[in-house]
Structure 1
Amino acid sequence: MGNESSLSLAELNSRIRILEDNIRQLIEQAAAASGERNEARIADRLSQQNEELERLTRERDARSQNEPPKK
């Protein structure tokens, strides 16, 4: 979902917070959803959001390990 390597660490953290909020909202929607189509659509979206969150978290963690300590 874009070129994460061009994002700053602060931008990665911001996107991670947004994804975490999206996931929380999708879980709430899933709990309130009725009907197979709604549940399937929410499950698909939740899966996509989780995949992107994992990808961005790995990128952030890799960058954090490579950055020199701040004074």
Structure 2
Amino acid sequence: MSNESSLSSAELNNRIRILEDNIRQLIEQAAAASGEQNEARIADRLHQQNEELERLTRERDARSKPPTT
């Protein structure tokens, strides 16, 4: 994965929106999935997307905090 600190705030926010949409779609797929293998694959992908979302959200939040002096 690329270095998120090199992303502009707009790019970071856009990636967060994309991840949120991906997660929504994966949840919909999980609800419609049948078969243990499909469910496991979707669950793994959902876990990865959630981790990425959390990481990017932390990065965005860290950028919005005023510097400590």
Taking structure 2 as the reference length, the TM-score comes to: 0.93
Taking structure 1 as the reference length, the TM-score comes to: 0.90
SS of alignment partner, residue 26 of structure 1: helix
Count of residues in Structure 1 that have an aligned counterpart in Structure 2? 67
Report the identity percentage: 88
Counterpart residue identity of residue 3, structure 1: N
Residue 27 of structure 1 is matched in structure 2 by 27
Unaligned runs of 5+ in 1: none
Deviation at 1:66, TM superposition (A): 3.7
Alpha-carbon separation, structure 2, partners of 1:23 and 1:2 = 20
1:50 pairs with 2:50:
yes
Structure 1, residues 25-53: CA drift from partner, whole Å, max 9, x if none? 00000000000000000000000000000
Structure 1 runs (4+) deviating above 2 angstroms are none
Unaligned runs of 5+ in 2: none
